[in-house]
Amino acid sequence: MGVEICVEGLTKSFGHQVIWQDVSLTLPAGEVSVMLGPSGTGKSVFLKTLVGLLKPDRGSVTVAGRDITKLREHDLYEVRKLFGVLFQDGALFGSMNLYDNIAFPLREHTRRSESEIRRIVLEKMDMVGLLGAEAKLPGEISGGMRKRAGLARALVLDPEIILFDEPDSGLDPVRVAYLNQLIVDLNAQIDATFLIVTHDIASARQVPDNIGLLFRRELVMFGPREQLLTSDEPVVRQFLNGRMQGPIGMAEEKDAAQVEQELAQIREPTGTPGSRPLTPRLLPGPGITRPPRWEAIAAREAELQRKEVADA
Ligand SMILES: Nc1ncnc2c1ncn2[C@@H]1O[C@H](COP(=O)(O)OP(=O)(O)OP(=O)(O)O)[C@@H](O)[C@H]1O
Ligand SMILES: [Mg+2]
């Protein structure tokens, strides 16, 4: 059913530079969460802290009942097996073909026979639509194929938690759509807990159960998708609508007066029924059973829409 990750009071700095402070959130077991934030706000640092690759200054990260920030290397190694991580560039070995790249964690972390490895590798390659490309080198395939190969590799140890660092960067819109569908389908099939870092607002709107936003060294908000999509918090609204007007600037140095002036200029159709329709969720593809939580979520979202219309 996936594993819950509970982050409490997490603070990380490098030297004198505080990256973020006092971050608390719970990634619910089996759900998909997205982390947003302007470039340089420490999203990648956050993912690395969750897997124990970076040590925070303060706070805890509880995974399967254990605070990984306190674990010694040997125990950390065990807990890390729960994670599959898709790094930003796929992080494939350039001299290995796709088959060997994807088989690598199995050869490294398990004692499985080559015939078992073959079965697992081909199953995951099939899942991400790469069957037939086993002999290709990373340098011979497209960026989208590299991402999918990285994803297949993240899946081979049957992780309880999958972290994706910008899985969609550098992909064309059609490939992003396919990747999003793949993520939703995968989550329905394997029930792992997902955290996705992305800059793609369309993906952030349709894919996750929960959304978080990092800005100016703080976690501005973390909560159910529909809560953020209908939020009046200026930073959240600006980011989710991809606007220039608002508290977030190019160099993050806007003063309060400028922000107020900009916000006053935006004439949003408030007060009209359905002024903030929720972007529909992306559903698992045909033949894939929806996770049980979906009914409750759909009911919650419908209720919220009724309220929005009633308030208007
Ligand atoms: N190992 C490190 N040592 C020192 N500083 C680091 C280290 N890793 C990251 N940083 C700094 O932490 C800050 C946040 O970096 P991070 O890569 O997490 O940002 P990000 O939100 O992922 O940005 P982007 O959206 O561009 O990928 C940056 O200022 C970066 O220079
Ligand atoms: Mg990053």
- Minimum CA distance residue for ligand 1 atom 29: 40
Q: What pLDDT is stored for residue 127 in this prediction?
A: 83
For residue 225, give both structure tokens: 């998708």
Q: Is the CB of 47 under 6 A from ligand 1?
A: no
Q: What pLDDT is stored for residue 19 in this prediction?
A: 96
**Distance from the alpha carbon of residue 42 to the mean position of ligand 1, in angstroms:** 5
Q: What pLDDT is stored for residue 269 in this prediction?
A: 47
Q: Regarding predicted confidence, which is higher, 27 or 129?
A: 27
pLDDT tens-place string over residues 268-296: 544 444 446 678 888 888 888 888 888 88
pLDDT tens-place string over residues 14-68: 999 999 999 999 999 999 999 998 888 999 999 999 999 999 999 999 998 899 9
- Minimum CA distance residue for ligand 1 atom 2: 14
Q: Are 276 and 308 in contact (CB under 8 A)?
A: yes
Report the half-sphere exposure of 290 (CA within 13 A, side-chain side).
11
**Distance from the alpha carbon of residue 32 to the mean position of ligand 2, in angstroms:** 19
DSSP-derived letter for residue 129 is T
Q: How confident is the model at residue 89 (pLDDT cuts 50, 70, 90)?
A: low
Q: Is the CB of 14 under 6 A from ligand 1?
A: yes
Q: How confident is the model at residue 267 (pLDDT cuts 50, 70, 90)?
A: low
- Minimum CA distance residue for ligand 1 atom 6: 14
**Distance from the alpha carbon of residue 302 to the mean position of ligand 1, in angstroms:** 38
Q: Which range is least confidently modeled, 89-103, 170-184, 198-212, 250-264? A: 250-264
Q: What pLDDT is stored for residue 273 in this prediction?
A: 42
pLDDT tens-place string over residues 65-88: 899 999 998 889 888 889 999 887
For a ligand 1 pocket test, name from 16, 34, 35, 45 the mutation site with the most ligand atoms within 8 angstroms of its C-beta.
Answer: 45
pLDDT tens-place string over residues 166-196: 988 777 888 788 889 989 998 998 889 999 9
- Minimum CA distance residue for ligand 1 atom 28: 40
Q: What pLDDT is stored for residue 77 in this prediction?
A: 85
Distance (Å, rounded) from C-alpha 129 to C-alpha 145?
9
Q: What pLDDT is stored for residue 263 in this prediction?
A: 65
SS3 helix, strand, coil % of the chain, rounded to 5? 40, 20, 40
Q: Regarding predicted confidence, which is higher, 146 or 305?
A: 146
Q: Does domain 5-82+159-225 have CATH number 3.40.50.300?
A: yes
Q: Is the CB of 37 under 6 A from ligand 1?
A: yes
Closest CA to 9 of 71, 52, 84, 67: 67
The chain-wide mean pLDDT, for the chain, equals 87
> Which ligand has its closest atom nearest to the C-alpha of 53?
1
Q: How confident is the model at residue 109 (pLDDT cuts 50, 70, 90)?
A: confident
Sequential DSSP letters for 160-193: SEEEEESTTTT--HHHHHHHHHHHHHHHHHH--E
For residue 167, give Cα distances in angstroms to 7, 102, 125, 161.
23, 17, 17, 15
Q: What pLDDT is stored for residue 288 in this prediction?
A: 87
- For the chain, give the number of residues: 312
